[in-house]
Structure 1
Amino acid sequence: MKEALVTVTCGIDWSEKHHDVALVDEDGTLVAKRRISDDAEGWRALVELLAEHGDHPGDPLPVALETSRGLLVSCLRATGRTVYAINPLAVARYRERHSVARAKSDHLDAMTLANILRVDAAHHRPLPEDSELVQAIAVLARAQQDAVWNRQQLANQLRSLLREYFPAALKAFHVKNIGLTSREARAVLQAAPTPGAAAKLTFRRLHALLRGSGRQRNIETWIDRLQALFRGEQLRQLPLVEEALGRQAQALLLQLDAACRAADQLAEATGEAFGRHPDAAIITGFPGLADLTGAWVLAELGDDRTRFANTRALKAYAGSAPITRASGKSLVVHHRKVKNQRLAAVGYVWSFASLRAPGPRGHYDYRRAEGDRHSSALRNTFNRMLGCLFHCLQNHKTYDESAAFPHRQSMRLSHAS
């Protein structure tokens, strides 16, 4: 956590068209305020205003906003300033400390942000000083993660729709490693979105569709299976209703196809950028992490080694460490709900994939034997692996299972002897 003795702090209330700037001194007195535009001219006005009140390249003034994104934030970070992204809920609570009238304005919000830095800067986390490469990786990785979630959401919508009028299609593509998001399913259903159209698909037409989707093996077996399912007896909607539902399915398929292509293209770009980062070899050395999942992890951790004071801070940020609520005789320990949701999501995938390795698998089995449910045991495994990753990144070391899970290794040796 960065701490500095400053006499002036800056708060900026951000909006799409303009920003309100307020500067307060160490006594909380307003020394300057200005409304600037959201363009290059407004940026110059902000720099001049800060320079008039003690800002210089060697010791820039800290700035607080309610957002961590946008061109203004990017420009502030590029100048080497310490920038704080304060949660809007925390700003609202701080405002209530000084007024119960619930008065609110853009100028007052800017002053509130400046005063938060003046008295409570040590209790807030500044934006990390990440490299340009890792910031680019974060953009690509988060966009790819969003595309994956969007793809799954559209697939769920399509599945619900097909259940209403075409359950044979769900059965046809309910195969290992094949689902509604597969190229085979999208090609066939786009050509025949209704049971009536699917029953009329000939051997030749199905062969062309499967070959065009990229399938090269077992095409004849697939054709026989699809024709048996599509031409078998099944419940049907009324003809006009079935046709309308088919049009709706085609519209969803267009969206699903675009989401699948976006996810694939972003995955390729993310992997390429991740491979250029020096931490890639350390991250992918862990069981359960590959180029894509490793990029997701790096996007949320960054490469600013001073961002997290210790492993406890990182684990709390990721939501893997439990939280305790104690009051009188009441003591409750449960998992965190306020966390980095993206890192927590990849943590579940990471810990599940790592179970192929003996160390994580032994730790997971131990937690299950102690009474943990599947999700709790995976979260505990993620917690352990995250601590190991923090140590390896801080010390530039590669993953060593005997050091990460020494108790499990000793148990294996004792059983072997």
Structure 2
Amino acid sequence: MLFVGDDWAEGHHDLQVEDDQGRVLARGRVDEGIAGMVRFHELVAEFLGDDAGPEEVVIGIETDRGPWVAALLAAGYVVFAVNPKLAARHRESLSLSGAKDDKTDARTLADLVRTRRHQLRPVTADSELADGVKVLARAHQSLIQERTRHLLRLRAALREYFPSALVAYQQGTLTLTGADVLALLAKAPTPAAAAKLTIVQITAALKTAGRRGDLAERAAAVQAALRTEHLGQPEIITAAYAATVGSTVAILQTLNTQIPALQEGVEASFGRHPDVEIYRSQPGLGPILGARVLAEFGDAPGRYADAKARKNYAGTAPITRQSGKLKTVHARFIHNNRLVNAIDLWASAATLHDADVRAYYDQLRGRGLGHHAALRQIGNRLVGILHGCLKTHTLYNPQTAWSHRATTQAA
């Protein structure tokens, strides 16, 4: 067998090839791209026996995604995605001096997969559909997070020079990210300009945003709030803030257009996946949240040996620390942040839509657990249920999922 350490960078890869005895067979650097991949194959072929296949080549690299990793998997190599922290600890065992460079990192990865690959999980390729869902779901979530960041910046700026706008544009169902409010802010970003807005102009903005009801009354309330006296800033500073608000408003308007467009793409891509009905049958999982959970778990067969392995990856399973008579249980802090966020939202939604989940939540709260600790336990249980449904290709059944609790309560 051959063991290859691949220290990747944006434009090149430093490689070290070793045999099963740890002897260095080759070192080199190849470029990122097709030419580099061809050179990689040639380098491996020089030392691979005629009867050996690509599965005899074990590669360690500190990433599990990207065109390079996809090409390695397509070629049939065994690829291990090594956690950078694990690689750093292993490097310390090989060199006490603390020296570090790209060649040393390649050597570390080669030695790590040669000696400790039994402790690592090989990279398994997800289907193209799952990869497509991941790209869209992550982009959609990132845009929502960006909108929240710009909303907070907008609110902070208005509070500094135009506090009456916060009063006017956050009453009733109005929000700072609404199309009508953004249109009014773009038209009148300063207190003086806003005070000159007429009922007709405000009503037109409300109509364009699809508002219903007594628009004249709402417009009058907005106009009155905009014309109230408030503490302000000098004219030069007000103009500067108005310029920044105009830029933020333009960004928010673009995000408001792109987020629904991406949402349609997420729903369409998720709807084409063969496991979509299983995910949608889970309590609390809709098309967007279900797509996020699928995207982060992936669909590679055999990636999770059992429900415990899936829970460990999800970060919902607790970890125990014990020394002598002292034993403590803690939440996991090393996890996939996107997946943890999705499971937290999933558990929260499930408590509102499933009576069994709600009963379990109430029981946990009755035992003194806090809200988030209870949601974490519910999420842990839901991940196990999902694993069972995917393994048996069956839809969610509350009687099957919660039969153990009914038996316990009866006893």
TM-score normalised by L of structure 1: 0.91
Match of 1:149 among 145, 151, 161: 145
- Post-superposition CA distance 1:187-217 (Å, at most 9, x none): 2222222232222111111122222334355
- Does the 8 Å CA contact 2:54/2:77 hold for their aligned counterparts? no
Match of 2:133 among 125, 133, 137: 137
SS in 2 for 1:21: strand
2: distance between equivalents of 1:169 and 1:331?
Answer: 54
Q: Give the deviation of 1:338 after TM superposition.
A: 0.4
Tell me the residue number matched to 2:98: 102
Counterpart of 1:79, as a letter, is A
Aligned residue runs from structure 1 range 3-402, under 5 A: 7-54=1-48, 59-174=55-170, 178-356=174-352, 357-402=354-399
Q: Give the deviation of 1:127 after TM superposition.
A: 1.8
2: distance between equivalents of 1:273 and 1:128?
Answer: 21
- Does the 8 Å CA contact 2:168/2:223 hold for their aligned counterparts? no
- Does the 8 Å CA contact 1:188/1:210 hold for their aligned counterparts? no
Q: How many residues align?
A: 408
- Post-superposition CA distance 1:34-74 (Å, at most 9, x none): 21112222111111222233276563512111122332112
- Post-superposition CA distance 1:111-163 (Å, at most 9, x none): 21111111111211222221111111111111111111111111111122222
Tell me the residue number matched to 1:404: 401
2: distance between equivalents of 1:50 and 1:97?
Answer: 27
2: distance between equivalents of 1:184 and 1:178?
Answer: 8
2: distance between equivalents of 1:334 and 1:40?
Answer: 46
RMSD: 2.3
Tell me the residue number matched to 1:4: none
Q: Give the deviation of 1:376 after TM superposition.
A: 0.9
Counterpart of 2:175, as a letter, is G
- Does the 8 Å CA contact 2:7/2:61 hold for their aligned counterparts? yes
SS in 1 for 2:327: strand
- Does the 8 Å CA contact 1:134/1:299 hold for their aligned counterparts? yes
Q: Give the deviation of 1:185 after TM superposition.
A: 2.4
Counterpart of 2:363, as a letter, is Y
SS in 1 for 2:5: strand
1: distance between equivalents of 2:343 and 2:172?
Answer: 24
1: distance between equivalents of 2:93 and 2:173?
Answer: 56
When residues 263 and 194 of structure 1 are mapped into structure 2, their CA distance, relative to the original with a 3 A threshold, is same
Q: Give the deviation of 1:404 after TM superposition.
A: 1.9
SS in 2 for 1:270: helix
Unaligned runs of 5+ in 1: 1-6
TM-score normalised by L of structure 2: 0.92
Counterpart of 2:300, as a letter, is D
Q: Give the deviation of 1:286 after TM superposition.
A: 1.3
Identity in percent? 38
- Does the 8 Å CA contact 2:62/2:84 hold for their aligned counterparts? yes
When residues 391 and 13 of structure 1 are mapped into structure 2, their CA distance, relative to the original with a 3 A threshold, is same
- Does the 8 Å CA contact 2:55/2:76 hold for their aligned counterparts? no
- Does the 8 Å CA contact 1:325/1:332 hold for their aligned counterparts? yes
When residues 295 and 306 of structure 1 are mapped into structure 2, their CA distance, relative to the original with a 3 A threshold, is same
Counterpart of 1:363, as a letter, is Y
When residues 127 and 218 of structure 1 are mapped into structure 2, their CA distance, relative to the original with a 3 A threshold, is farther
- Post-superposition CA distance 1:206-230 (Å, at most 9, x none): 1222223343555334313312321
2: distance between equivalents of 1:176 and 1:272?
Answer: 34
- Post-superposition CA distance 1:13-53 (Å, at most 9, x none): 11122211111111111112221112222111111222233
2: distance between equivalents of 1:233 and 1:410?
Answer: 66
When residues 72 and 337 of structure 1 are mapped into structure 2, their CA distance, relative to the original with a 3 A threshold, is same
1: distance between equivalents of 2:403 and 2:392?
Answer: 19
2: distance between equivalents of 1:57 and 1:208?
Answer: 70
